[in-house]
């Protein structure tokens, strides 16, 4: 999993914005978290949390647009996110059909 911490917009100093690639879920993700006076994450619900489902966001532009109101976006961030996805790859989950085919073609034991 990659994780890039972004600089919050000046009008939003008490938040943390992170964005990256989640290999197990095969998705780009973004979080906008509330910070307390000490700069620690609070237990409050995040402002934003996208990319929590399998194959949810496959285009980095979608997560960039989601965090645009909250963070300053570096010019090279799209390239970094795409490079993260290529470098880390994706965990491929077997489909129900794959599992069924494996069970049907497995050698049968005789008692």
- In the chain, the number of structural domains is 1
Within-domain flag for 111: no
How far is Cα of residue 70 from the mean position of the Cα atoms in its chain? 17
B/e letters for 72-81, b = 16+ CB within 10 Å, e = fewer, are ebeeebeebb
Of residues 18, 12, 14, 11, the one with CA closest to residue 32: 18
Within-domain flag for 92: yes
**What is the pTM (predicted TM-score) of this model?**
0.77
Q: Which residue range(s) make up the domain with 68?
A: 4-105
Q: What string of pLDDT tens digits covers the 111 residues of the chain?
A: 999 999 999 988 889 999 999 998 899 999 999 887 777 777 666 789 999 998 899 999 999 999 999 999 999 999 999 999 999 988 776 656 666 666 777 676 666
Within-domain flag for 110: no
Q: Which helix (H) or strand (E) holds 15?
A: strand 15-22
Within-domain flag for 80: yes
Within-domain flag for 47: yes
The structure tokens 């990256």 sit at 20
């Amino acid at each position: 999993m990659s994780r890039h911490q972004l600089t919050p917009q000046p009008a939003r100093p008490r938040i943390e914005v992170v964005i990256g690639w989640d290999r197990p879920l095969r998705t780009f993700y973004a979080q906008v978290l509330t910070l307390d006076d000490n700069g620690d994450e609070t237990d409050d619900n995040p402002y934003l949390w996208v990319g929590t489902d399998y194959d949810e966001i496959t285009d980095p532009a979608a997560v960039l647009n989601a965090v645009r109101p909250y963070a300053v976006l570096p010019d090279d961030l799209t390239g970094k996110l795409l490079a993260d996805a290529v470098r880390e790859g994706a965990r491929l989950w077997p489909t129900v059909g794959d599992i069924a085919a494996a069970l049907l073609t497995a050698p049968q034991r005789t008692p």
